[in-house]
Amino acid sequence: MIEESGRVLSIEQGFADVETIRTSSCSSCRARHGCGHHAIAQVSSANRMRMRAIDPLSVEVGQHVVVGIPEDTLLQASVWMYLIPLLGLLGGAVLPSLWNGDSGVAVLLSIVGFAGGLLLARNKSKNEINNLDYYPKILRIEHSQDDHIPVMLTS
C-alpha cells in the first residue's frame, strides 16, 4: 500500500477531499547536486495536491489522515498511461521495417502508433472513472501531539 498524509478539506457522503503536500527525498540524497529532479523540485511551488478519497471512517473537516492506494492499482494505471503509448510508438516505428518501408513511413507510423496508444489510454481512463478500485482510500486518522495532555511528575 502506498501511503501519504494529508488534511481533510471537505466531506460528502462516503468521500472526502484530502489535501496532501508532495514531499521529496531530495534533501537526503547524495546525488542531489547533479540531479535534474532536485532542481525542478526546488523551483516548483505546486507541491499541494487535492484528491477525492473513499471515506470509510467518517472523518471530519480539518482532521489529519493517511490515504493509501494499492501498489497493483498504481502499476495498472502506469501501464495504461505510459507503456501502451510507448508500445504504440515502437510498434509504429518497427512495422515498416518488416516490408522494407521508407524511414519517412516509419516516422509517420510511429506518430500514429503513439497517438493511438494515447487514445487507448484516454478511453480506458474514461471507462474507469467511476471504478472505486482506482480511488485512494482513507486508511486511518492521525492524532497530532497537541491532542495529548503532558504529564508532569513532581517529587
| Torsion angle in degrees (nearest 10) through CA of 56, 60, 142, 54 | 30
Q: Does residue 124 carry a pLDDT above 90?
A: yes
> What is the rounded CA–CA span in Å between residue 35 and residue 134?
31
CA distances (Å), origin 87, targets 18, 46, 69, 97: 35, 31, 26, 16
| Domains parsed from the chain with CATH numbers | 2-22+42-146 (2.40.50.140)
Q: What is the pTM of this model?
A: 0.65
How would residue 39 be classed by pLDDT, with cut points 50, 70 and 90?
A: low
Three-class SS state of 112: helix
Phi, psi of 10 (to 5 degrees): -155, 160
Tens digit of each residue's pLDDT (9 = 90 or more) over 78-116? 999 999 999 999 999 998 888 887 888 999 999 999 999
> What is the rounded CA–CA span in Å between residue 69 and residue 139?
9
